[in-house]
Amino acid sequence: MPESDKTASAKSEQEWKQDLSPNQFKVLREHATEYPGTSPLNDEKRHGVYRCAGCGQPLYASDTKYESGSGWPSFWDPLPGAVETSTDYKLAYPRTEVHCASCKGHLGHVFDDGPRPTGKRYCMNGVAMSFEPEGKSD
């Protein structure tokens, strides 16, 4: 768990459990990964904004989404200040884990095999996000 998870979130674990579905809780708070190909956001093609399912923070604009073939919604760039990263050592090699900058929820990982202009692939768990179509607001 990143150090920031211990201090930045004002909600208790019990409050997170009440506010999130069981799958959202596993991914956002326990750093799990959803099965590839299971998110309806994989097929989302409308213009809009992808938000953190935990706190509503805007994360990615739809024009940065692309089909990576990975089975998870993928983006080549987050919105400014939307995400933070830390190093994940859960596998045999370190990976860069991506978190919501607001609530510190686990979103996915970023890799250096994405398209131009950034060369990044922000491989996100769909269950960790919601989609707000253009023209709709909270």
Q: Kindly name the residue from 52, 100, 103, 123 that is annotated as catalytic.
A: 123
100 catalytic per annotation: no
Contacts of 15 (CB under 8 A, 6+ apart): none
3-state secondary structure of 86: strand
Within 13 Å of residue 81, how many CA atoms lie on the same side as its CB?
2
> Which of the residues are catalytic?
123
